[in-house]
Amino acid sequence: MNVMVINNLSSLRRYCVQASGTFYATTPIFYVNAAPHIGHLYSAVIADALSRYQRLRQPQTQVHLCTGTDEHGTKIQQAAAAQSVPVAQYCDEISGRYRQVFKEVGIANTDFIRTTEQRHKQAVAQFWRTLHKLGHIYSAAYSGWYCVSDETFLTDSQLRLDTATGARFSLESGHPVEWTEETNYMFRLSEIQENVIYWVKKGGHVRPKKFEKILLDMLSESLPDVSVSRPANRVHWAIPVPDDETQTVYVWLDALINYLTSAGYPDKKYRKFWPPNVQVIGKDILKFHGIYWPAFLIAAGLEPPQQLFVHSHWTVDGQKMSKSKHNVVDPVASAKTYTMEGLRYFLLREGVAHSDGNFSHVKALRILNSELADTLGNLLSRACAKSLNPQQVYPRLHAVQVDDLLRMDAAKRLQDALQQIEARCAQHYADNNFYLVVDTVISTLHAANNFFETSRPWELKRPAAAVTTGNDVDAANTQNIENFERLETIIAMTMDTLRICGIVLQPIVPQLCGKLLDKLAVPQEQRLWRNLDDCFATKSSNENVARPLDVHTDAVLFRRILLKEEDLQAGPPIKSPPVPQTKEKMKQKQKEKTAKSKTAAQ
């Protein structure tokens, strides 16, 4: 074992220190060989929700959320060639689509990185030089089975042999492999393996726990060194190895370094955000992020991430999404039915990190209609109904009425739910269990709808005019005033519930909650986690005034989707967008079309 390596490593073992005052979250960077689908969106909305939660809890924290596109390698080379599009143009097109979809779905990324950018090439060159200088890289003749789709060499035990054809396939992904013999640079993974195990075993870095176990299983065998370069004449669409133009950097090493580039590496400013607080990845890329990535970092003298949050996959009606099955769910087309907020809600509400989730159009329709339209939306419409709330205000709470109403079971249940919502949801967010946050909020909203119905506000008439003559208060008038105050209190308690639920759900459906809180005229600075505590609080008299609602914001939060379930059995008309075409190809197609229509006309 290389002595220099050991010395460097033992002085490093702190995994993981935390940068303070900052929060750095990442999504994987997305291959540009295919347009975005809901699986990709899922990685991004999780990272976005985590970052938004951080801002909600600690508005002073500087949050950095990075996403972007992974643009090098054989796979991309081949995809561009198949479309007869220059590879750079091909990358621009698909990368642009990711950027656009993420914008539409409200991903608040502070950076969008492309591996073809100059800043990234510099980071990769510097990182490579560091590994090389520290003795972690050596040159060797290498042969093995390479899987282009997965961009990785596989060992015999990771292959399946098709005896009929003699072809081999990756056991895990099912993609074909090809025998490759070449001279490569190798990374001494075998020497870092024990350090990676140390990092994983320190606990809490790989979540959910299930994936920590899977990773430790993978690490229980001695791992061979990894090839970290390819001959430039085979893979030219890649970053050149510094000082050796015959080789290009292995796409996974290139791709992983994006997380450093985005933090500012090689400039020292990267330290402000290093190590990342959370890196969101899908289960298929666990090996790269849970073994190679910490190994590369530890070898280069850098801290591995604080947390890898691994999610499972989306299937569609029980089947793996794939182009050949024509079941790839395109977010842009789906949003026409569900809206982007609806899609975001569905993914975070239905997705459970440790198990695969099933995307079904019928289920999406049911959930969005029953929860966003009928439960959340309906409660807001009720509280804002002109018949009950003609002055369009967030009314005052009257202490006597609050006490009286709380004698009702329905009100008590609502109060109990609200008293627990902060602690429960804080725990669920801390565990990245968004579905449990939504469960808690929805059951609170059910309690609120029930309270509203049980307290029958429509029976409490508004007084025509509260007339008092001297010290004598007319008995009927007193009743009127009491009724009016009770009505105000019921609406205020309902609005308080909506305000609390709106604050809690912001990381999950930010635009929808923004609209809800706008309607309730909740000032921006009072939409933070710390504003969750003053529910049903009768404030001091000068604060306890009715506030006008925002009349410019529609009280309909989420429109019911009016499709019939039968229409959705086969899925709404969702198609993947066309791949980019060269001008020549488009011209050719146009010619063919014209020729066809001429023939038809004859």
Site residues (vs ligand MSP, CB under 6 A): 28-31, 39-40, 42-43, 70, 255-256, 258, 281-282, 284-285, 313-314, 321
- CA distances for 564 relative to 361, 369, 571, 574, 586, angstroms: 11, 12, 11, 16, 38
DSSP bridge partners of 62: 22
- Residue bearing tokens 């291959």: 31
Closer to ligand MSP by CB, 93 or 550: give it.
93
Residue number, 258 or 433, with CB nearest to ligand MSP:
258
Residue 65 DSSP SS3: strand
Work out how close the CB of 353 gets to ligand MSP at its nearest, in angstroms, rounded to a whole number: 11
* Smallest separation, CB 184 to ligand MSP (Å): 20
Q: Between 110 and 315, name the residue whose CB sits nearer to ligand MSP.
A: 315
Q: Report, in Å, the least distance between residue 304 CB and ligand MSP.
A: 14
Instruction: Write the DSSP assignment of 572-584 as a string of letters.
Output: SS--PPPPP--HH
CB 258 to ligand MSP: min, Å: 6
Please report how close the Cβ of residue 264 comes to ligand MSP at its closest, in angstroms: 17
Q: How far is the CB of 490 from ligand MSP (least distance, A)?
A: 43
Residue 74 identity = T
Nearest Cα neighbor of 275 from 252, 296, 254 is: 296
Helix (H) or strand (E) holding 136: none
The string of DSSP codes covering 79-112 is: HHHHTT--HHHHHHHHHHHHHHHHHHTT---SEE
Instruction: Please say which residue, 30 or 90, places its beta carbon nearer to ligand MSP.
Output: 30
Measured from the CB of residue 178, what is the shortest distance to ligand MSP in angstroms?
20
Distance linking the first and last C-alpha atoms of the chain: 80
Nearest-approach distance from CB 89 to ligand MSP, in angstroms: 19
Closest listed residue to residue 568, CA positions, set 347, 375, 334: 334
Residue closer to ligand MSP by CB (options 151, 303) is 151
Contact 275, 19 (CB under 8 A): yes
Q: Which residue is nearest to ligand MSP (CB)?
A: 282
Q: Which is nearer to ligand MSP, 282 or 395 (CB)?
A: 282
Tokens coding 372: 């966003």
Give the residue from 353, 367, 321, 330 showing the smallest Cα distance to 47.
353
CB of 292 to ligand MSP, least distance (A): 10
Closer of 172 and 518 to ligand MSP (Cβ)? 172
39 or 342: CB nearest ligand MSP: 39
**40: number of CA atoms within 13 Å, CB side?**
25
H runs (alpha helix) in 506-563: 510-519
- Three-class secondary structure of residue 422 per DSSP: helix
Residue 422 to residue 420: CA distance in whole angstroms? 6
Rounded Cα distance between 526 and 185, Å, is 55
Quote the least distance from Cβ 325 to ligand MSP, whole Å.
12
Q: How far is the CB of 331 from ligand MSP (least distance, A)?
A: 12
> Which residue, 48 or 70, is less far from ligand MSP as judged by CB?
70
Identify which of residues 282 and 294 has a Cβ nearer to ligand MSP in the complex: 282
Helix (H, G, I), strand (E, B) or coil at 347: helix
Q: For residue 386, what are the CA distances in angstroms to 480, 490, 506?
A: 19, 15, 27
Residue 602, exposed/middle/buried by CB under 10 A (0-12, 13-18, 19+)?
exposed
Nearer to ligand MSP among residue 211 and residue 529 (C-beta): 211
Q: Which residues contact 572 (CB under 8 A, 6 or more apart)?
A: 333, 334, 336, 337, 361, 563
Give the Cβ contact number of residue 559 at 10 Å: 14
Separation of CA 258 from chain center: 18
DSSP secondary structure code for residue 408 in this structure: S
**Toward ligand MSP, which CB reaches closer, 170 or 449?**
170
Q: Give the nearest distance from C-beta 233 to ligand MSP in angstroms.
A: 23
**Residue 182: both structure tokens together:** 């070449």
Q: How far is the CB of 28 from ligand MSP (least distance, A)?
A: 4
Q: Which are the contacts of 122, defined by CB distance < 8 A and separation ≥ 6? A: 261, 266
Q: Quick one: 70 or 330, whose CB is closer to ligand MSP? A: 70
Collapsing DSSP states into helix, strand and coil, what is residue 69?
strand
Q: Is 149 helix (H, G, I), strand (E, B) or coil?
A: coil
Task: Specify the residue, 29 or 91, whose C-beta has the smaller distance to ligand MSP.
Answer: 29
Q: Torsions phi, psi of 19, nearest 5?
A: -70, 140
Report the nearest approach of ligand MSP to the CB of residue 133 (Å).
23
- Extended beta strands in 312-382, E state: 314-316, 319-320, 357-359
